[in-house]
Structure 1
Amino acid sequence: MKKIFYYILMGAFLLGTATSCEDSVEDLSKVTYFAELNLKGDDFVKLSLGETYTEPGYEATENGEDISEKVKVTGSVDSSTPGFYNLVYSVANVDGFSVTKTRQVMVVNPDSFASAYQGESQAGTRHYTGAPILITENEDGTYLIDDLLGGLQFYGMNPGFEPMYDFHAEAKLKLNADNTLTLIKVGNWYFASELALSLTEGKYNPETGVVTMTVDYGGTPLSVTLTK
């Protein structure tokens, strides 16, 4: 009788161990299929002031299945105001793992100095392009440029450090009757106490919408070109 009871206990133990191992193996062998997200059209779109933004579209799949209806889009475009607008697309798979992509929309005013621009900056061998630069008009008729350096610091030399550090050298400008630029004041920025900035030469071409500036970057000539 004792032997029979012993065999029953051993059988139950072995069955429980086998079940536990099966559960463990089942958990370890689970496969996650990550979602794939693709944007149709370009990830950078340029519009003129007042032009309507038309969404080019997107598509998402998970293990070959179309899940485009699950894509969430955050952000909006105000085509009545020059600037840069980011549209963020995101989608998650059944296990909650998400993927995101961003499309940037640039709204320019082709008929005004106050507009959004793409900045190019070059100081010696350092050369950066594609920085988002914005010029707005002040109430007194002067203009504020959000980075006199054309993106040299925040976009080129120190990308990703903002907003912890302010690498935008904001400046107040005057647009003269002959379309030359005069620097009135440079605002506070991270290197303000170390690098004195001045404008050696500046000009706006209303026909092409291009701004060209030579900035004295702490004793180093800095070439800045802004293009709509």
Structure 2
Amino acid sequence: MKKIISILVVTLMLVSCSKEDSQNVSTITYYPEFQVMGDDVIFLDKGQEFVDPGVIATEGATEIPFTTTITGKYRGGTTLDTNVVDIYQIVYTATNQDGFSGSVARTVYVIDTGDLTTSIAGLYTSTVARNGTSGAAYTNMEYVLIWEKADGSFQISDAFAGWYSIGRAIAGSDTPGGIIVANNIATNDFSFPGTLTNDYFGGVVNMTDLTVDAATKKMTLKTTWIAPGTPPTNYQFVATLTQVPL
């Protein structure tokens, strides 16, 4: 899919106050425009080849060069390595002849989809209840990511399963770093080493329980949070995670 991002075109009229020079001077600045080649959201299997379709950047009718930067949201990569599961953002930036810059981005999901028998890795939609209360904003949220680490344990992108970061769209409100040790997936025997904190609010966070239903491709994750305050507030999040097939 081709997508054209049109930024702005500004005309600046300079009028001289001199009697000797009564001619108006007109300067037109064309801000960078972008034609995004391919889709602005791409899903890839782990290890799948990826060739960046790029963009076409123009200043008026003239094509101009652009630069590309890549950031892995959870694992910090600066290149798109399809052997490393993550959510990557590719940002394309161009600068016009007057020094004005513009940017456009695409998102690339690199996903390892486990069978929920030997692996719980995958991309999941999330429906979350907090202290027993949910709502439309917290239903089928897109997306929560789980990947397998080198030591065989698993890590989840947000221990709150998107309640704040997706449901309330509060930037930087993930609870990252949650490790899940799968002692025996078939018997729902998991352990959760370490204590977490929410990046935005703080507090003490612990994942406490995970149950897996391989037949329905669903998991239920329970997480507790002691939120800071006087007195502190206790919350429990119950997330139903539904694996997204690729």
Q: Under a length normalisation based on structure 2, what TM-score does the superposition of the two structures give?
A: 0.65
- Find the counterpart in structure 1 of residue 126 from structure 2: 120
Aligned residues: 199
Cα pair 2:126 2:144 within 8 Å, conserved:
no
Q: In the alignment, what sits opposite 1:131?
A: 143
Q: Secondary structure at the match of 2:166?
A: helix
5+ residue gaps, structure 2, are 1-16, 71-78, 225-233
Q: Which has the higher helix share?
A: 1
Partner residue of 1:189 out of 174, 180, 197: 197
Question: Kindly tell me: are residues 83 and 20 of structure 1, through their superposed partners in 2, closer, same or farther at Cα, counting changes over 3 Å?
Answer: same
Letter in 2 for 1:159: I
CA RMSD for the aligned pairs? 3.2
Judged with a 3 Å threshold, the aligned counterparts in structure 2 of structure 1 residues 145 and 214 are, in CA distance, closer, same or farther, namely closer
Whether the aligned pair in 2 keeps the contact of 1:147 and 1:171 (CA below 8 Å) is: yes
Q: Which has the larger radius of gyration?
A: 1
8 Å CA contact 1:83, 1:115 repeated in 2: no
1:40 aligns to 2:11 (yes or no) = no
Kindly provide the CA deviation profile for residues 112-157 of structure 1, in whole angstroms up to 9, marking residues without a partner as x: 7364524423321141622352433363x43332322222223332
Pair 220,184 (structure 1): closer, same or farther in 2 beyond 3 Å: closer
Matches of 1:19 and 1:156 in 2, distance apart? 64
Q: Secondary structure at the match of 2:203?
A: coil
Check conservation: 1:119, 1:151, Cα contact below 8 A. no
Deviates more, 1:79-88 or 1:166-175: 166-175
Matching of residues 1-228 of structure 1 within 5 Å: 17-19=18-20, 26=25, 29-63=26-60, 65-67=61-63, 69-75=64-70, 76-111=79-114, 113=119, 115=121, 117-123=123-129, 124-125=134-135, 126-127=137-138, 129-137=141-149, 139=151, 141-160=152-171, 162=172, 167-175=174-182, 176-178=184-186, 180=188, 182-185=190-193, 187-190=195-198, 191=201, 193=203, 198-199=208-209, 201-203=210-212, 205=214, 210-216=217-223, 218-228=234-244
Structure 1 unaligned residues grouped into runs of 5+: 1-15
Deviations 1:13-54 (A, max 9, x none): xxx9325765xx53xx42222221121211111111221102
Q: Match for 2:147: what amino acid?
A: I
Q: Per-residue deviation at 1:203?
A: 1.1
Percent identity, please: 18
Residues of 1 paired with 2:93 and 2:164: CA distance?
30
Cα displacement (A) at 1:74: 2.1
Q: Deviations over 1:195-221 (max 9, x none)?
A: 66533x42163x88x452242554555
TM-score, normalized by length of structure 1? 0.70
Aligned pair in 2 of structure 1 residues 219, 188: CA closer, same or farther (>3 Å)? closer
| AA of the residue aligned to 1:203 | V
Corresponding position of 1:3: none
Deviations 1:67-120 (A, max 9, x none): 1x5122222311122222221111122212121111121112234736452442
2:7 corresponds to: none
Kept after mapping to 1: 8 A contact 2:87/2:108: yes
Contact 1:84/1:116 (CA < 8 Å) preserved in 2?
Answer: no
- Is the strand fraction higher in 1 or 2? 2
